[in-house]
Amino acid sequence: MDSATRLDLAFRRWVIEQNVPRVATSPDMALPKGEAVSIFRAQCVSRHLDILSRKMQKSGEGFYTIGSSGHENMASVAKAVSRNDLAFLHYRDAAFQIMRAMDSSACTPIRDLLLSFSCSKEDPISGGRHKVLGSKELNISPQTSTIASHLPKAVGAAFSIGLPKSKIRCSNINDQPIVLCSFGDASSNHSTAQGAINTACWTSYKNLAMPILFVCEDNGIGISVPTPKHWIRQCFSNRPGLRYFHANGLDLYQTRKVAQDASEFVRDNRKPAFLHLSFVRLMGHAGSDMETAYLSEGEILANEENDPLLQSARLLMQYGELAPKNILGIYDNVAAQCQRVLEEVKSRPRLSSAEEVMQSIIPPVSDSGSEKAIDLIERKRIFGRESRYFSQPHSMGRLINWTLTDLMLEHQEVILFGQDVGKKGGVYGVTKRLQQRFGAGRVMDTLLDEQSILGLAIGMSQTGFLPIPEIQFLAYLHNAEDQLRGEAATLSFFSNGQFYNPMVVRVAGLGYQKGFGGHFHNDNSIAVMRDIPGLVVACPSNGRRAAQILRECVRLARIERRVVVFLEPIALYSTRDLNIQNDNSWASIYPDTSCGLHFGEVSVRGDGRDLALISYGNGFYLSSQAADELRLKHSLDVRLIDLNWLSPLPISALLKALTDVKNILIVDECRTSGNIAEGLIAKLYPELRSPITILSAEDSFIATGPAYAATMPSKRTIVKTALEIMDCLK
């Protein structure tokens, strides 16, 4: 007999015999009339949907079987918080969403979840792309099968709604709710969870508001690996800045009361709390999971005897809420209702083409209107005497600083943060004086944790801010990349465009730094960003274009709701000269704020037809040096093309820029494997008849000291390769 059938028969038998094993001990607590019955009904819906999901899979009509059985008392938690409270849910929390949906006339929880199980295009949250819990109407942000990767953004959302009202005037949050974030006991061990909870504690310890309720659903096992007894209590009951609560999650009344106490603590104190609920996991991890491979029959049966539906039935009888026949009546009526809805859902259409699947990768364009005008009086006050230097040429670092200043003046929702960006002004001084200009509420120093920095950005953007977080070095992004791939970029995709988290992530990176760094501070690997669907990656090569591209990046985030990475070449921050000392040829005058560079637009210098040099960042700088030598010493006129946009690649603009060019040399400062050139040649070769040559970096880490640039393209190797190409034509 399968576990679903066994649980169903046991429930009926024990309720009829009124012989429910007494596991939970409930404190005296009166709930509003009918609330306990309502919670039990939601539990029944969750259970029967779990049973149906297994049947649907066997018949080929369903595609997801990770259920919520054993966790049904999350319905009690749903009753303990407000519907206005933002929820970031564990994937076993169907009962929470069902309970919240049952209190809303706009939702049909049984149909909605069955549509999700069947991957129907009519699934109201994902449009058939995945089974996710989530609802715009219910303030539940959708999650996929995460390993706690949603915790950092939940912390970010809590921080944003915890700001003083004077600071959140740009937010779409009208009052000050709390954030609920749930996860499993096994997931609590993940570095992402540990970092997020640490960030919440760190913020609370600093006496800053952090209204978040962490709910750990402890069922004692992670797929097949047991959680050590008392591990969760020992890990989280004495954390500084975090209040700990515990409840028996098998007990409807106790869970409701303790969850209420925990939520009220968070709401009243604007501090984080940790609600530890003891659950059981029933019917295995998923439909494909054979529990008998790692649990004995006795252990499986012991868990089934702790079925929370049995305990709810016992308590409802004990408190005189329902007689046994009424309990079975609700249970059977829910089963029949779920079956009726399933018969209708079976025939609903599913996604069938790549176009349909990909439709929601890019979120819908905002209707918030055009760019806002800057208050010129305020601008004059903010810049002060510094504005007198606008008409003089400056390096990239300074022009980025001025651009950030203007963007923060123009858009009050822009908020800047990262490690060392505040008082210090960044490692390279790029954010210097910004905190002095706008205050610590808009330019913030964070703790050293890239996952938390990106999570803060995702959460804040979901509540109406436009974050510009900084990742101090490109190499530091790699340990947090899943926050971009698994959370930020997937939100629109898995919510059918209903949720989005626009932001501009500033990343200092690439190579060619002299005398500093090695492979941690000189990193020429960006493949980790190029394979993320929907992510925009931009990279400037000089100050003027940096200002123009950064403004376009913010427009993409504000108006087109995109997730954007602005990759800043560290070695060019202070570069002013191109060929000889003090020629000042690489410095730029600060462009007018109305002067932009459009998304997908490349920059072209020269009209030479013999050879085109295509590059970006430091590579374009070196190519410019090489082009001057090729022209002066070898009478070879070349066409220079700066990509500006690294993902998606600006192929249309590039093809136009390459009209009538006989030969193409791509100069790529990134490694041969996983670089930009690979994507370029794959797109360009079918469209062009011109030979294409690639000069890229070695598949190597970068050394410190005199050999800092030995593995990457140089002016010498560009000239040498270009001459070899031209010699082949003679």
Question: Under a CB-based contact definition with an 8 Å cutoff, are residues 695 and 717 in contact?
Answer: yes
Question: For 532-572, what is each residue's pLDDT tens digit?
Answer: 999 999 999 999 999 999 999 999 999 999 999 999 999 99
Q: C-alpha angle with apex 247: 243 to 249, nearest 5 degrees?
A: 135
Res. 26 pLDDT band, cuts 50 70 90: low
CA dist., res. 701 & res. 694, Å (int): 19
Question: For 108-134, what is each residue's pLDDT tens digit?
Answer: 999 999 999 999 999 999 999 998 899
Q: Does the structure show a pLDDT above 60 at 730?
A: no
Question: Under a CB-based contact definition with an 8 Å cutoff, are residues 40 and 34 in contact?
Answer: no
Question: For 279-316, what is each residue's pLDDT tens digit?
Answer: 999 988 887 888 889 988 898 888 988 999 999 999 99
> Which residues lie below 8 Å from residue 392, measured CB to CB, with a gap of 6+?
589
Amino acid at residue number 703: A
Q: What is the dihedral of CA 251, 226, 194, 95, to 10 degrees?
A: -30
Task: Determine the pLDDT at residue 689.
Answer: 77
Q: Does the structure show a pLDDT above 70 at 27?
A: no
Q: Which of 309-318, 366-375, 610-619 has the lowest mean pLDDT?
A: 366-375
Q: Where are the domains of the chain?
A: 3-347, 376-572, 603-729
Q: Does the structure show a pLDDT above 60 at 192?
A: yes
Task: Determine the pLDDT at residue 637.
Answer: 87
List the CATH code of the domain at 376-572.
Answer: 3.40.50.970
Neighbours of 171 (CB within 10 A): 16
Short-list 355, 674, 285, 669, CA closest to 513: 669
CA dist., res. 630 & res. 623, Å (int): 10
Q: Does the structure show a pLDDT above 60 at 166?
A: no
Residue entry with tokens 């005897």: 305
Amino acid at residue number 693: T
Q: How far is CA 436 from CA 423, 430, 589, 635, in A?
A: 8, 14, 24, 51
Task: Determine the pLDDT at residue 406.
Answer: 94
Average pLDDT over residues 410-438: 93
Task: Determine the pLDDT at residue 169.
Answer: 52
Q: What is the dihedral of CA 218, 220, 223, 226, to 10 degrees?
A: 140
* Token reading at 78: 């749903």
Q: What class, spelled out in words, does domain 3-347 have in CATH?
A: alpha beta
Average pLDDT over residues 398-427: 94
CA dist., res. 630 & res. 636, Å (int): 5
Q: Does the structure show a pLDDT above 60 at 467?
A: yes
Q: Note if the pTM is more than 0.85.
A: yes
Task: Determine the pLDDT at residue 415.
Answer: 95
Question: Under a CB-based contact definition with an 8 Å cutoff, are residues 307 and 11 in contact?
Answer: yes
Residue entry with tokens 């295995």: 284
In whole numbers, what is the pLDDT of the chain averaged over residues? 91
Task: Determine the pLDDT at residue 167.
Answer: 55
Question: For 577-596, what is each residue's pLDDT tens digit?
Answer: 999 999 999 999 999 888 77
For the domain made up of 603-729, give the CATH fold: Rossmann fold (3.40.50)
Q: Which residue has the higher pLDDT, 276 or 63?
A: 276
Instruction: Give alpha helix (H) positions in 270-307.
Output: 297-305
